[in-house]
Amino acid sequence: MAHRKTPRRSSRTKIDERNKDKKIIAVVGATGAQGGGLARAILEDKNSEFAVRALTRDPNSDKAKALADAGAEVVTADVDDVKSLRQAFEGAHGAFCVTFFWAHMKPEKELSEARNMAQAAKDAAVHHVIWSTLEDTRKSVPLSDDRMPTLMGKYKVPHFDAKGEADEAFKELGVPTTFLLASFYWDNFIHFGMGPKKGADGKLAITLPMGNKKLAGIAAEDIGKVAYAIFEGGDEMIGKTVGIAGGHQTGAQLAKSFSKALGREVVYNEIAPADYRALGFPGADDLGNMFQYYSDFEQACCDMRNISETKSLNPELLTLDRWPDLHRFARLPPPSPRLPAPCVAGDRRCRGEVKSLPPRCDARFSAR
């Protein structure tokens, strides 16, 4: 057997002696939401058959150092550089592959990153890959369908479509892959500026263009726990698409959960997808189309993300009411006065002066 190259590692980390006989899981985005959840799930299980190899661009970041201190091997890798990915994947049993569209908002770049990961996994002979993906909405809403606008010339929901298109890269290269279909992160309510905000009438409201349709959602941390279970499931999970969710809630039900957590009324401010797209913040058109897709194809989206099946993989699966971060809203400072006010609760359209939601995007999170 040919000798495998040793991956390029940061100078401050080395393989934990306790992990030398364990199967290595290379985790892309190990300092982010999904990858971080997987890394923590493995590291917190002292009886795990796996060891974590955390891939990061900056091994000296606080988050990378925390992973190293917890027992992870930290290596330098760049999703734009297939050679660095190949080196980082060498010797790994599994690889968790994820992209972050919102860092650049370029679907072609996201597609290129995914192809790099697929090629690197193929070259490094990784035994089991999990690719965190989403639907290619163009299969349900062709570009010729004018129910929602075509964006960037060839996408309906860019941050979905590029991931869905990238599925083919893993398949065509014959990479042994499980396709993990995530849901809308509840964390977006905190980190993506989508949480309750006070309107001109003084009421707190969440603004979504979902009508009375249900939105499949999940705590980001649970995505990593499910990924861990998929790796534990071994070969029988290869080739499967696993859709996951912690709950299916309408806008009114989401508002009710926020009301319980905050101890004050939060109402659901329903607006049309076109009005959401017109809010004007970066990505509003993409997100407006996303919510419309979730709404128009509610049954299919929720059926693909079965709560019971998710819980079978992660028995500790959180519901929204049990999600600890939901209660952080009670301790959050009020929105900055420099940011636009939210839509007035109960309005069918946003007022003309309302052009954006708070652009508080935390780089760990994605508006899935």
* 247-283 residue pLDDT tens: 999 999 999 999 999 999 999 999 999 999 999 999 9
pTM: 0.86
CA distance 309 to 36: 22
- Beta pairing class for 128-133 and 177-181: parallel
pLDDT mean over 135-158: 98
pLDDT at site 11 = 35
* 180-203 residue pLDDT tens: 999 999 998 987 889 999 988 889
Helix or strand or coil: residue 133? strand
Average of per-residue pLDDT values in the chain: 88
CA distance 245 to 214: 12
Non-local (6+) Cβ contacts of 1 within 8 A are: none
Which domains occur in the chain, in start order? Answer: 20-327 (3.40.50.720)
Choice among 229-238, 264-273, 311-320, 321-330 with the minimum mean pLDDT: 321-330
Phi-psi region of 66 (alpha: psi -120 to 50; beta: other; left: phi over 0): alpha
CA distance 172 to 350: 45
pLDDT at site 324 = 86
Query: Side-chain half-sphere of 215: how many Cα atoms within 13 Å?
Result: 23
Question: How far is CA 290 from its chain centroid?
Answer: 14
- Beta pairing class for 197-198 and 204-208: antiparallel
DSSP string computed for 327-356? GGGGGSPPPPTTSPPPPPTT-SS--TT---
